[in-house]
Amino acid sequence: MSTPRKLGVLFCLLGLVAVCVLAIVLNTTGPFAGLPGIESSLEAEARAVVANDDVVIIADGRALSVQLPQVMQPGFDRDELATRLEAIRGVRSVELLGDPAIGAIGAPDPTAVPAPDPTVVPAPDPTEEPVAVEPTLDEIVDGLDLSEVTFEPGTSRFTAQDIAVLDNIADHLQGLSGGPVQVQAHTDRGGDPDVNFLLSQNRADAVVAYLIDRGVNGSLLTSRGFGAQVPIADNATEQGRAANQRVVLVVEGN
């Protein structure tokens, strides 16, 4: 081949090389930068890392923005994917959408049972039998009224009305233990104080003896007479004196 022809071939080759170099430069930094061929290559690399259709990849020239959703498919750790994506040259930002979950992020567990609402009080089951609560000794004694036990005047003998009241009291106290329950008797201020004191003690003893005879546990009961020392009404009136002559039951220690 002659020298002129060799020079012509050489110039042609140099021209082709120059055109290729110019095309590469223009595609990288010039008006052709960001052509789909170059951009898709970077996106494909990011897709290969995440391998997850839930990930949003936004192309912007030679840079990519990647959005990782809060809930991802099972087997994907969002934090690990973010680290791997940030290592790819050309990935501008990795955005974690929503609040990150703890540990590996996967789809919601369909078998998970939601925690009960602490503010919701379950309705009682109408089929359940109510549990009977036994009353305490204090509650039983508080419900017993001996105000109609009046005795025959000036004695510790019971009237027919007294017997009926005491029989009812005995029915409530039978089978009980604990206490002790004190029978307290009081009189009005009429007459001699010593006589009144003795009368009140005899009346308290008579009530205890009758209740024990009716089946009440003897260890449950004690007796005490107060005479006229603890009035609850005015002794100057007939009604007041009648109120002061009384017998009451008191659970000791209260």
Please name which of 180, 175, 191 lies closest in space to residue 224, comparing C-alpha atoms: 180
Q: What is the pLDDT of residues 188-241, one digit of tens each?
A: 999 999 999 999 999 999 999 999 999 999 999 999 999 999 999 999 999 999
Determine the residue type at 183: V
Helix (H, G, I), strand (E, B), or coil: what is residue 148?
coil
Higher pLDDT, 26 or 113: 113
Q: What is the pLDDT of residues 36-53, one digit of tens each?
A: 444 456 666 666 666 655
pLDDT at 7: 65
pLDDT at 178: 80
Residues 107-123 have a mean pLDDT of 63
- Look up the pTM and report it: 0.49
- The pLDDT confidence band at residue 253, using thresholds 50, 70 and 90, is confident
- Are 235 and 244 in contact, with CB atoms under 8 Å apart? yes
pLDDT at 226: 96
Other CB atoms within 10 Å distance of the CB of residue 245 = 21
- Structural domains in the chain, CATH included, are 31-101 (3.30.70), 137-251 (3.30.1330.60)
Burial (CB count within 10 angstroms: exposed 0-12, middle 13-18, buried 19+), residue 176: middle
Residues 158-162 have a mean pLDDT of 95
Q: Give the whole-angstrom CA distance, residue 148 versus residue 159.
A: 10
Higher pLDDT, 218 or 66: 218
